[in-house]
């Protein structure tokens, strides 16, 4: 990690009565310390990366409290770590991006929840759903249901979230069940405040070790214990949980004067619902609503008694539940049916089954509920009026505006690899490309549009197994170093070699888990605590016996094209691995920029490189942009009065990575590009040489212009 | 409408890496310092420095006691309910308007008017840029108050970052219940590049209050005005054509010689029967075509006396800093053959094509034009100019030009639009190497399939004009030429249809 979280770390030290100001995910981190956890583990990913990032920088606090931090290599490893709470009264937490991380973790989660826990076990999941999400869109809710874990979905208010973390551990212990704390993207990035408590020393930890291991066959996941565990979940743990939730009042009822209707809302969506009510004139901005609201801060399990009590005497309730399937709406219906209540349950009938419940969606849905129930027939027209700006604007703006998809950063070392594939494609025709998860997934977007499938993190090569034999040409699989260590080494490389498949694997070795914020990996050049571990992708692949391995510096496009061509055409059967080597440019710049600035300031000779385009040589075809897509390679209006099309232009963000020159060479594009090496703090010799060159060239020019 | 506690809502649209997070943090800090309840959240996008990001802030403009009920603040902006919309770039402002976040009843729009082109806009083969005018018009209509200025330029001028200038503009817009010194305090409290950010803040506030009109457009030094030639011959030309010719003639002299410029003039004069607009456009394309890019031309441009200074300016080199300039040249057999006489070039190209060497044999070189040795190479190349008139490519280009001009003249005699479309096809001829070959091939295909049959009267003029335009747009839409092939297949080949 080339970033520092000093300021955030300071806020983890706050004590009783201090006011914390900061982001939601950092508040959760603080809440974990206040809850007395013995261990924390996880796998980075938006929107929860900060939890781990900040703890990595907070080693001294962790040492004082005796807390163990594990930066796990997969979510499965993080979930397995929670096994510490099965036999011992150790509180612990694991975190990851969901639903994908939960998918990866689910084997361990099933076993964990079957065995049950003694110490409180909490999984903090960043629910990466809707705007800003980078993964497939599914709910994590189903995992809680099928494994019998409790799903907390707190109202997005920092104090409430922190309280829910502490209550969550108690709930976990009271019901011997792991709990999941679900935070949506906006809640993770929510900036607010809460009043702190002191951090708590865990009962047992590095500093107070356990005396002896505990053996209890009933906690082993093997029959017949598993049969008993399954029954135990339903007969003991669930009732204990329901009792704790009811007694502690984890769910909230906000009363209102209207008695005939009500709203049941997932905790995380409460604020959005209240805002919509306020805009429709049914609430004020302090949350005082005319319509009673039942807030499910515990999204699973539902409490049938609470639901029935809330619905009794109402003709209709609105269930506000984001995503599909509509588990809560179904559960509410069942609860009312069993209680023989005739309250109408309206949910997905007025709100969309799929997609995010934004402010606009909520406004529209609640207005329709008010209309349907006869509460306010005019509500839909008011909401339509509020939302009418969009149509008016569309009428003026006409066609859709160009989108701005994410892409590789300026100077990214992965971009040249895809430029090389593009160049080779011209020569050999397109290949099937099994893409993977990571920054390199952006190859599937313009301008490259490379990559036919994405099956999951580290699964690029594994996903080629079925399609490769059916293709006339060798299939190229892509994997990042993140995916490689996550599981690609076993599911991909070992699987491929084991099956003697014929395939090509490109491993993007940029040295970090870059897409999630430059966390260190097993093969990183450094480690969060001291020197690097020395694990290497090359040695790992060699150790498994891959018959064909090349390491290529990514910026060297011509060599990359040659190497890819060789991999496509070599008679060697089996796995052909190309390690594409180039450090993440953002991380690199973050590291070297201060060093360079210091050198320049100290008067040392420093050469700054950047690229440029000769405007009068460029004819405005933009082939270079289609082979690069670098943010600093753009267009500008031509100053030539005879030309019309804009010309290529390199702006001042250029970091001089060299790709422009490499691509114009490898693709034989055009002679417009030049590289400028600016000599800062030139030596006497630099200046002298420069002066002589200028003089001689000036003489020659005198003749040419004559 | 204003109920107690109704928050002031602020939506900020930025791009990754522009400091939108810092801007939001300043705003939150300033509101807190002013004793107001504030909440922010964001969709920061991915770690990568591209892609759109948004930040949403709500500020309660009235005091809220600590023990009293707290306002419930939203995490989502709602269309029609945004008080202050901030966009760090014009297209993002357009997007915000398009998404309904700018409405006449309440939204103040603070938007930077510079453009950062999206990938679709900049990778187009011709000109894919969005028409800015529509966004400006929409902003004028949809915003209650629009504070739009080139804040990026203001940032450059004041030596600060765009986000600090935007914070100033937000403060200066008067829409926020926060005193200006609270913002300045927030910048100081953050403690990074404080002086520069304060300068940017002050500039942004001044621009928003209309106290700073901004400097004129960035120094864009126009090239030296061309020395006028053949002025006497120009008087006979129509005014629109004359302007183009005045620009073109000196360029043709530099490209080849006075006789070549005269050839241009003769060709332009042959367009006498063509209407003024079409003739001017033909004259423009003709000048570019006649100055086709060969290695001699490239060498000439690379050693042009004005170039070194232009590069120094562009890369922001300080006066005492030497700048080394490396050129990336990779001429192939085609480029070499282009300047050889036809008797040598034809067999060479024929052999290369047969043996697949056309693209294989390229001579990659990195030439340092700031060094005497490197400069000398290009200087010598530029001095091969006299060989050009006898070269293979010269002969090809001149005959193609004549065919095209002839089609323009004949087309104009039949239908004005047909002539316009034929003229515009010259736009396809650009680039180098493979790019040039593709454009040339596309032009040839349209010439054979549509232009020639149209001139021969096989396709009716109006239909031909439509189809030529369609084919040209298809050729410009797709580098693989598939779109053009599909377009040309839409109707049966005219020659067959006529039989």
Are A617 and B301 in contact (CB < 8 Å)?
yes
pLDDT in tens, B447-466: 999 999 999 999 999 999 99
pLDDT at res. A331? 98
Are B75 and A396 in contact (CB < 8 Å)?
no
Query: Which among A586, A693, A705 has CB closest to B370?
Result: A693
Are A670 and B431 in contact (CB < 8 Å)?
yes
pLDDT in tens, A33-58: 999 999 999 999 989 999 999 999 99
> What CATH number does the domain containing A671 carry?
3.30.70
Query: Which among B120, B329, B433 has CB closest to A402?
Result: B120
| pLDDT reading at A113 higher than 80 | yes
- The Cα diameter of chain B in Å comes to 96
Q: Which residues of A touch B99 (CB under 8 A)?
A: 390, 393
pLDDT in tens, B115-144: 999 999 999 999 999 999 999 999 999 999
> What CATH number does the domain containing A387 carry?
3.40.50.920
Distance CA A624, CA B96 (A): 31
Are A680 and B321 in contact (CB < 8 Å)?
yes
Query: Which among A639, A644, A669 has CB closest to B435?
Result: A669
Distance CA B483, CA B473 (A): 9
pLDDT at res. A679? 97
pLDDT in tens, A119-149: 999 999 999 998 888 899 999 999 999 999 9
Same domain, A94 and A210: yes
- pLDDT bin (cut points 50, 70, 90) of residue B226 is low
> What CATH number does the domain containing A60 carry?
3.40.50.970
B120 lies within 8 A of chain A by CB: yes
pLDDT at res. B363? 81
Query: Which among B79, B119, B430 has CB closest to A407?
Result: B119
| pLDDT reading at B491 higher than 70 | no
pLDDT at res. B223? 52
pLDDT at res. B498? 45
Residue of chain A minimizing CA distance to B73:
A271
Q: Which domain holds residue A298?
A: 251-397
- pLDDT bin (cut points 50, 70, 90) of residue A670 is confident
| The last residue of a domain, from among A587, A617, A640 | A587
Residue of chain B minimizing CA distance to A667:
B434
A406 lies within 8 A of chain B by CB: yes
CATH of B8-208, one of 3.30.200.20, 3.10.20.10, 3.40.50.460, 3.40.920.10: 3.40.920.10
Residue of chain A minimizing CA distance to B156:
A652
pLDDT at res. B218? 47
Are A285 and B32 in contact (CB < 8 Å)?
no
pLDDT at res. B492? 59
Query: Which among B7, B317, B382 has CB closest to A704?
Result: B382
Residue A409 lies inside a defined structural domain of this protein? no
pLDDT at res. A2? 58
Please give the residue that has the higher pLDDT: either B224 or A505: A505
Q: Residue A126 belongs to what H/E stretch?
A: strand A121-127
Same domain, A222 and A336: no
Total count of domains within chain A: 4
Q: Where are the domains of chain B?
A: 8-208, 231-253+261-290, 295-390, 391-499
Are B100 and A393 in contact (CB < 8 Å)?
yes
Q: Which residues of B touch A634 (CB under 8 A)?
A: 116-117, 122
pLDDT at res. A706? 39
Q: Which residues of B touch A622 (CB under 8 A)?
A: 122-125
Same domain, A644 and A574: no
Are B80 and A394 in contact (CB < 8 Å)?
no
Q: Which residues of A touch B248 (CB under 8 A)?
A: 642
Same domain, A522 and A668: no
Query: Is A465 in contact with A495 (CB distance < 8 Å)?
Result: yes
Q: To the nearest whole angstrom, how far is the Cα of B467 from the nearest Cα of chain A? A: 22
**Residue by residue, what is the 3-state secondary structure of chain B?**
CCCCCCCEEEEEEEECCCCHHHHHHHHHHHHHHCCCCEEEEEECCCCCCCCEEEEEEEECCCCCCCCCCCCCCCCCCCCCCCCEEEECCHHHHHHHHHCCCCCCCCCEEEEECCCCCCHHHHHCCCCCCCCHHHHHHHHHHHCCEEEEECHHHHHHHHCCCHHHHHHHHHHHCCCCCCCHHHHHHHHHHHCCCHHHHHHHHHHHHHHHCCCCCCCCCCCCCCCCCCCCCCHHHHCCCCHHHHHHHHHHHHHHHHHCCHHHHHHHHHHHHCCCCCCHHHHHHHHHHHHHHHCCCCHHHHHHHHCCCCHHHHHHHHCCCCCCCCEEEEEEECCEHHHHHHCCCHHHHHHHHHHHHHCCCCCCCECCEEEECCCHHHHHHHHHHHCCHHHHCCCHHHHHHHHHHHHHHHHHHHHHHHCHHHHHHHHHHHHHCCCCHHHHHHHHHHHHHHHHHHHHHHHCCCCCHHHHHHHHHHHHHHHHHCCCCHHHHHHHHCCCCHHHHHC
Mean pLDDT of A569-596: 95
Same domain, A472 and A336: no
B251 lies within 8 A of chain A by CB: yes
Query: Which among A285, A447, A680 has CB closest to B3?
Result: A285
pLDDT at res. A667? 81
Please give the residue that has the higher pLDDT: either B67 or A495: A495
Same domain, A613 and A558: no
- pLDDT bin (cut points 50, 70, 90) of residue A175 is very high
A354 lies within 8 A of chain B by CB: no
Same domain, A198 and A269: no
Are B44 and A132 in contact (CB < 8 Å)?
yes
pLDDT in tens, A510-519: 999 998 888 9
Distance CA A284, CA A280 (A): 10
Are A626 and B325 in contact (CB < 8 Å)?
no
Are A284 and B5 in contact (CB < 8 Å)?
yes
| pLDDT reading at B164 higher than 50 | yes
Same domain, A321 and A393: yes
Q: Which residues of A touch B135 (CB under 8 A)?
A: 397
Are A393 and B364 in contact (CB < 8 Å)?
no
Residue A434 lies inside a defined structural domain of this protein? yes
| pLDDT reading at B497 higher than 50 | no
- pLDDT bin (cut points 50, 70, 90) of residue B365 is confident
β-bridge mates for residue A289, sequence order: A283
- pLDDT bin (cut points 50, 70, 90) of residue B315 is very high
| pLDDT reading at B215 higher than 80 | no
Mean pLDDT of A660-686: 91
pLDDT in tens, A367-387: 999 999 999 999 999 999 999
For residue A530, which of A520, A517, A516, A515 has the smallest C-alpha distance?
A520
- pLDDT bin (cut points 50, 70, 90) of residue B487 is confident
Residue of chain A minimizing CA distance to B364:
A665
Same domain, A223 and A84: yes
| pLDDT reading at A528 higher than 90 | no
- pLDDT bin (cut points 50, 70, 90) of residue A398 is confident
Same domain, A313 and A445: no
Same domain, A85 and A114: yes
| The last residue of a domain, from among A587, A620, A640 | A587
Q: Which of B1, B95, B123, B251 should one mutate to test binding to chain A, selecting the residue with the greatest count of A CBs within 10 A?
A: B123
Q: Which residue has the tokens 């510079």?
A: B114
Residues 1-60 on B with a CB inside 8 Å of A are: 3-7, 15-17, 24-25, 28, 32, 39-52, 56, 60
Mean pLDDT of A678-685: 96
In chain B, % of residues over pLDDT 70: 94
Q: What is the mean pLDDT of chain A?
A: 95
Mean pLDDT of B4-28: 91
Same domain, A240 and A98: yes
| pLDDT reading at B221 higher than 80 | no
Q: What is the mean pLDDT of chain B?
A: 90
B433 lies within 8 A of chain A by CB: yes
Are B327 and A674 in contact (CB < 8 Å)?
yes
pLDDT at res. B217? 46
A17 lies within 8 A of chain B by CB: no
């Amino acid at each position: 990690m080339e970033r520092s979280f000093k300021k955030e770390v300071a806020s983890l030290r706050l004590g009783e009565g201090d006011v914390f100001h900061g982001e939601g995910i950092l508040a959760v981190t603080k809440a974990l310390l206040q809850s007395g956890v013995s261990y924390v583990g996880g796998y980075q990913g938006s929107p929860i990366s900060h939890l781990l990032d900040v703890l990595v920088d907070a080693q001294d606090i962790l040492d004082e409290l005796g807390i163990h931090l594990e930066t796990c290599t997969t979510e499965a490893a993080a979930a397995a770590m929670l096994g510490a709470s099965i036999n011992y009264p150790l509180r612990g937490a694991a975190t990851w991006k969901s639903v994908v991380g939960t998918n990866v973790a689910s084997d361990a989660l099933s076993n964990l929840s079957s065995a049950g826990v003694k110490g409180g076990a909490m999984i903090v999941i960043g629910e990466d759903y809707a705007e800003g999400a980078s993964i497939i869109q599914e709910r994590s809710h189903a995992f809680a249901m099928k494994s019998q874990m409790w799903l907390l979905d707190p109202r997005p208010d920092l104090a409430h979230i922190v309280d829910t973390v502490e209550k969550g551990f108690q709930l976990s212990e009271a019901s011997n069940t792991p709990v999941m704390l679900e935070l949506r993207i906006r809640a993770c990035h929510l900036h607010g405040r809460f009043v702190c408590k002191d951090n708590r020393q865990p009962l047992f930890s590095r500093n107070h070790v356990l005396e002896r291991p505990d053996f209890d066959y009933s906690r082993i996941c093997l029959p017949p214990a598993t049969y008993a565990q399954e029954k135990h979940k339903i007969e003991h743990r669930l009732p204990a949980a329901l009792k704790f939730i009811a007694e502690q009042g984890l769910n909230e009822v906000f009363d209102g004067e209207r008695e005939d209707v009500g709203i049941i809302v997932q905790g995380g969506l409460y604020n959005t619902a209240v805002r919509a009510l306020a805009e429709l004139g049914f609430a004020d901005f302090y949350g005082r609503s005319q319509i009673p609201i039942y807030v499910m801060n515990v999204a699973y399990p539902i409490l049938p008694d609470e639901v029935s009590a809330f619905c009794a005497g109402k003709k209709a309730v609105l269930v506000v539940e984001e995503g599909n399937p509509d588990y809560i709406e179904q559960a509410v219906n069942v609860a009312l049916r069993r209680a023989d209540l005739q309250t109408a349950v309206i949910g997905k009938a007025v709100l969309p089954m799929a997609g995010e419940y934004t402010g606009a969606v909520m406004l529209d849905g609640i207005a329709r509920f008010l209309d349907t129930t006869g509460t306010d027939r005019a509500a839909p027209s008011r909401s339509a009026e509020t939302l009418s700006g969009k149509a008016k604007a569309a009428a003026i703006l006409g066609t859709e505006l160009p989108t701005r998809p994410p892409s590789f950063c300026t100077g990214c070392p992965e971009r040249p690899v895809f430029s090389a594939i593009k160049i080779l494609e011209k020569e050999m025709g397109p290949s099937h490309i099994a893409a993977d998860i990571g920054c390199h997934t952006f190859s599937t977007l313009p301008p490259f549009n490379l990559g036919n499938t994405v099956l999951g993190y580290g699964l690029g090569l594994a996903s080629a197994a079925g399609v490769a034999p059916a293709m006339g040409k060798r299939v190229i699989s892509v994997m990042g170093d993140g995916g490689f260590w996550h599981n690609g080494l076993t599911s991909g490389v070992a699987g491929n070699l084991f099956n003697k498949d014929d395939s090509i694997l490109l491993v993007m070795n940029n040295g970090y888990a870059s897409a999630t914020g430059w966390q260190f990996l097993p093969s990183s050049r450094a480690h969060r605590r001291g020197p690097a571990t020395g694990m290497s992708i090359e040695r790992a692949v060699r150790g498994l016996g891959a018959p064909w391995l090349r390491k290529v510096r990514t910026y060297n496009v011509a060599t990359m094209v040659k190497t890819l061509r060789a991999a496509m055409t070599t008679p060697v059967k089996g796995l052909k691995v190309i390690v594409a080597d180039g450090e993440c440019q953002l991380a690199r710049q973050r590291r070297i920029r201060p060093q360079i600035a210091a050198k320049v300031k100290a008067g040392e000779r420093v050469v700054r490189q950047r690229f440029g385009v000769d405007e009068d040589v460029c004819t405005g075809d933009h082939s270079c942009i289609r082979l690069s897509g670098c943010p600093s390679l753009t267009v500008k209006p031509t100053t030539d009065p005879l030309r019309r099309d804009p010309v290529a232009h390199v702006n001042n963000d250029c970091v001089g990575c060299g790709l422009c020159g490499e691509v114009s060479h490898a693709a034989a594009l055009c002679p417009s590009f030049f590289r400028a090496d600016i000599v800062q703090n030139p030596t006497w010799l630099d200046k002298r040489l420069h002066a002589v060159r200028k003089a001689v060239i000036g003489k020659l020019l005198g003749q040419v212009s004559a | 409408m204003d109920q107690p506690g109704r928050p002031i809502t602020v939506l900020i649209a930025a791009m990754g890496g522009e400091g939108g997070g810092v801007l939001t943090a300043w705003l939150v800090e300033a509101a807190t310092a002013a004793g107001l309840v504030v909440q922010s959240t964001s969709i920061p996008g991915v770690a990568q420095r591209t892609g759109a990001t948004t930040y949403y802030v709500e500020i309660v403009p009235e005091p809220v006691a600590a023990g009293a009920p707290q306002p419930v603040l939203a995490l989502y902006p709602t269309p029609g309910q945004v008080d202050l919309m901030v966009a760090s770039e014009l297209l993002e402002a357009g997007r915000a308007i398009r998404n309904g976040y700018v409405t006449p009843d309440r939204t103040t729009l603070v938007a930077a008017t510079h453009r950062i082109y999206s990938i679709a806009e900049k990778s187009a083969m011709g000109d894919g840029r969005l028409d800015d005018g529509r966004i400006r018009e929409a902003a004028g209509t949809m915003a209650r108050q629009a504070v739009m200025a080139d804040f990026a330029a203001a940032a450059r001028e004041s030596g600060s970052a765009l986000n600090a200038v935007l914070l100033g503009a937000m403060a200066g817009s008067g829409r926020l219940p926060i005193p200006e010194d609270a913002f300045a305090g927030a910048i100081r409290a953050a403690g990074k590049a404080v002086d520069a950010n304060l300068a940017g803040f002050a500039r942004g506030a001044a621009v928003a209050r209309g106290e700073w009109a901004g400097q004129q457009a960035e120094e864009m030094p126009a090239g030296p005005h061309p020395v006028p030639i053949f002025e006497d011959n120009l008087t006979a030309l129509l005014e629109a054509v004359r302007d183009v010719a005045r620009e073109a003639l000196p360029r043709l002299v530099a490209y080849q010689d006075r006789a070549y410029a005269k050839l241009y003039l003769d060709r332009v004069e042959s367009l006498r029967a063509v209407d003024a607009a079409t003739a001017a456009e033909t004259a423009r394309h003709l000048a570019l075509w006649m100055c086709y890019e060969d290695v001699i031309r490239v060498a000439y441009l690379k050693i042009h006396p004005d170039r070194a200074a232009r590069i120094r300016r562009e890369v922001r080199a300080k006066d005492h800093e030497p700048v080394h300039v490396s050129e990336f040249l990779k001429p192939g057999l085609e480029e070499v053959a282009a300047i050889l006489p036809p008797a040598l070039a034809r067999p060479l190209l024929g052999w290369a094509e047969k043996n697949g060497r056309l693209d294989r044999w390229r001579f990659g070189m990195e030439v340092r034009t700031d060094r005497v040795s490197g400069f000398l190479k290009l200087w010598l190349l530029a001095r091969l100019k006299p060989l050009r008139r006898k070269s293979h490519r010269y002969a090809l280009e001149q005959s193609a030009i004549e065919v095209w001009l002839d089609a323009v003249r004949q087309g104009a005699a039949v239908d004005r639009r047909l002539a316009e479309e034929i003229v515009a096809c010259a736009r396809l001829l650009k680039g180098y190497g493979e790019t040039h070959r593709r454009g040339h091939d596309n032009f040839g295909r349209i010439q054979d399939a549509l232009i020639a049959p149209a001139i021969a009267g096989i396709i009716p003029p109006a239909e031909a004009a439509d189809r030529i335009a369609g084919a040209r747009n298809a050729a410009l839409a797709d580098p693989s030429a598939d779109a053009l092939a599909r377009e040309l297949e839409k109707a049966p080949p005219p020659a067959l249809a006529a039989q």
